[in-house]
Amino acid sequence: MAADYDAIIIGAGISGMYQLHRLRGLGLAVRVFEAGNGVGGTWYWNRYPGARFDSESWTYGYSFSDEILREWEWSEHFAAQPETLRYCNFVADKLDLRRDIEFNCRIRAAIYDDAAGEWEIESEDGRRARARFLITAIGPLSAPTMPSIPGVGTFRGEAYHTGLWPHEPVSFEGKRVGVIGTGATAVQAITEIAKTVGQLTVFQRTPNWCAPLHNSPIDAATQARIKATYAEIFTRCRGTFGCFIHDADPRKALEVSPEEREALFEKLYREPGFGIWMGNFRDVLVNEEANATITEFMRRKIRERVKDPAVAAKLIPTNHGFGTRRVPLESGYYEVYNQPNVRLVDLRDTPIERITPAGIKTSDAEYELDMIVYATGFDAITGAFDRIDIRGWDGRRLRDKWAHGPRTFLGLQVEGFPNLLTLVGPHNAATFCNIPRCIEQNVDWVTALIAYMRERGFSRVEPTPEAEREWLEHVYDTGRRMLFTQVDSWMMGINSNLPGKNKRTFIVYAGGAPRYREKCEEAVAGGYAGFTFR
């Protein structure tokens, strides 16, 4: 049976949309399969209150189209989810993408047919399709996980996971709302919910170091300046570690005077965005002593902002330094705890025992609630892959191959899985990036590879075992120096709600986007060194 398409893309988020556009440009027949009822991926699913960028909007949008850059106007420096979803739809309209996207179609399995040299995918509702290339654009944080707490299904009130938020408005007015989790999502949601809630109870297991976002509207003059300087903005992003506009300060925290140190910390705390994380002294994320200086500064800030010292103490992380877990950016998060109708339950003192029909029961009390918001995160990076039965030649399962941690070459291909291309896959720089910047690089690279194969009449590409081994070593070598690898978080593959996810595993690439890009370019310059073609 002949293949239905040249390429199948799973997912119509930021990466799937751009990949579709680029492959169309090569004249390929492409079909995108998307579980949601619309484009946007992360921005389609994460409709929870307060969801917004932590990247500057004008660094986040696609850079490849002058027309899109010219026509689209971000209204705020850090756009909220509804605006970002509108942006995704604007791009889909502009590029006429929808005619090649099948919506409401969740892929269950993808099997490589070695004899035909084709992938066959099957959706949950039994639809099937075949193509030579299979491109996963399934997102790094797209497999939501519910807490493994007894009784989760028994609660009689409203219950929502932030990553599966309803499309209809949800009201908190006059309600007793409980939020489980205090990660980046929860910090945004809690701050917004607190504005209208009757009574809010936050169930916190591990506090995080949160820093001010300082969002603001973009005025006309700034809008004009942004549009006139897009080229420079993107060039700057390309040069920084995580493709953010912020770049590490060339000085080391331990080499300057305490006053100079304080001055930079204070400046960064007052400035918008991730500067305090990505634009800090260059040793704070790799040297414990340097890290202790910014950690102490952040501790002071929490104490200053939270009136009740006992509550402040609970909000101060004690098991990790600043920036060693994903830093939530906030817009008045700490002040929420000064409201009389907000209380903080520290699960380290009183763990949750069960969810009951009426609310949440901890070891010392039962909290009656009208609504529970699960801000409990995702099965990060590999989770979306694990949820699809992906089988390469000889029927080998990707899930099995990655059972003890992912193995890839460049985070884009896997030995034993020919013609499978994994955008934003594990060990890919896009996992630690102002993501569209890395997505464009991923997609451009994949597109060039496919063009190369067509020119030369190759039908099959796969990395060599040696290339995969060397990449794994490189991922570990570059990651090891970072302090975050010594801390439990989703960035290290930890998820307390899933069996087997309690051991730290390298799943991201922390060598920095510029180095990653170099590695990708090196492979190309060497005639796609590390890959075998047929």
Task: Kindly tell me which residue out of 29, 256, 313, 347 binds ligand NA7, with binding defined by CB under 6 A.
Answer: 347
Looking at residue 99, the DSSP 8-state letter turns out to be G
Q: Does 355 bind ligand NA7 (CB under 6 A)?
A: no
Count of residues that bind ligand NA7 according to CB under 6 A:
23
Q: Does 205 bind ligand NA7 (CB under 6 A)?
A: yes
Q: Does 75 bind ligand NA7 (CB under 6 A)?
A: no
φ/ψ (deg, to 5) at 353: -95, -45
Residue 156 CA to residue 169 CA, distance in Å, equals: 19
Residue list 490-519, contact with ligand NA7 (CB under 6 A): 490, 496-497
Please tell me the total number of residues recorded for the chain in this structure. 534
Stretch that binds ligand NA7, among 178-186, 246-254, 381-389, 456-464 (CB under 6 A): 178-186
Q: Does 183 bind ligand NA7 (CB under 6 A)?
A: yes
Smallest separation, CB 445 to ligand NA7 (Å): 23
Are 47 and 166 in contact by the 8 Å Cβ rule? The answer is: yes
Residue nearest to ligand NA7 as judged by C-beta position: 183
Smallest separation, CB 497 to ligand NA7 (Å): 5
Are 18 and 61 in contact by the 8 Å Cβ rule? The answer is: no
Are 331 and 215 in contact by the 8 Å Cβ rule? The answer is: yes
Smallest separation, CB 491 to ligand NA7 (Å): 8
Q: Does 350 bind ligand NA7 (CB under 6 A)?
A: no
Q: Does 44 bind ligand NA7 (CB under 6 A)?
A: no
Task: Kindly tell me which residue out of 8, 143, 284, 375 binds ligand NA7, with binding defined by CB under 6 A.
Answer: 375
Q: How many CA atoms lie within 13 A of 236 on its CB side?
A: 14
Largest CA distance in the chain: 72
Contacts of 117 (CB under 8 A, 6+ apart): 132, 418, 419, 459, 460
The residue among 28 and 285 lying less far from ligand NA7, judged by its C-beta, is 285
Given CA atoms 325, 331, 334, 336 in this order, what sign does their dihedral have? negative
Q: Does 184 bind ligand NA7 (CB under 6 A)?
A: yes
Locus of tokens 């990708």: 520
Instruction: Characterise 262 by phi-psi region: left (phi > 0), alpha (psi -120 to 50), beta (else).
Output: alpha
Q: Does 43 bind ligand NA7 (CB under 6 A)?
A: no
Q: Does 428 bind ligand NA7 (CB under 6 A)?
A: no
Q: Is 195 helix (H, G, I), strand (E, B) or coil?
A: coil
Q: Does 65 bind ligand NA7 (CB under 6 A)?
A: no
Structure tokens that stand for 235 in this block? 């060039």
Bridge partners, 203 (sequence order): 180, 345
Residue 455 CA to residue 74 CA, distance in Å, equals: 40
Q: Does 345 bind ligand NA7 (CB under 6 A)?
A: no
Q: Does 185 bind ligand NA7 (CB under 6 A)?
A: yes
The residue among 3 and 375 lying less far from ligand NA7, judged by its C-beta, is 375
The residue among 281 and 490 lying less far from ligand NA7, judged by its C-beta, is 490
Stretch that binds ligand NA7, among 177-185, 244-252, 259-267, 392-400 (CB under 6 A): 177-185
Task: Kindly tell me which residue out of 141, 264, 284, 520 binds ligand NA7, with binding defined by CB under 6 A.
Answer: 141
Q: Does 149 bind ligand NA7 (CB under 6 A)?
A: yes
Q: Supply the Cα-derived Rg of the chain in whole angstroms.
A: 23
Q: CA 445 → CA 423, 452, 504, distances in Å?
A: 10, 10, 30
Smallest separation, CB 438 to ligand NA7 (Å): 13
Q: Does 147 bind ligand NA7 (CB under 6 A)?
A: yes
Instruction: Fill in the per-residue mask, 312 to 341: x = in contact with ligand NA7 (CB under 6 A), - = not in contact.
Output: --------------x---------------
Locus of tokens 């439990």: 488
Are 59 and 437 in contact by the 8 Å Cβ rule? The answer is: yes
Task: Kindly tell me which residue out of 206, 331, 356, 459 binds ligand NA7, with binding defined by CB under 6 A.
Answer: 206
Q: Does 438 bind ligand NA7 (CB under 6 A)?
A: no
Q: Does 376 bind ligand NA7 (CB under 6 A)?
A: yes
Q: Does 377 bind ligand NA7 (CB under 6 A)?
A: yes
Looking at residue 43, the DSSP 8-state letter turns out to be H
Q: How many CA atoms lie within 13 A of 530 on its CB side?
A: 23
Residues that bind ligand NA7 (CB under 6 A): 141, 147-149, 180-186, 205-206, 326, 347, 352, 375-378, 490, 496-497
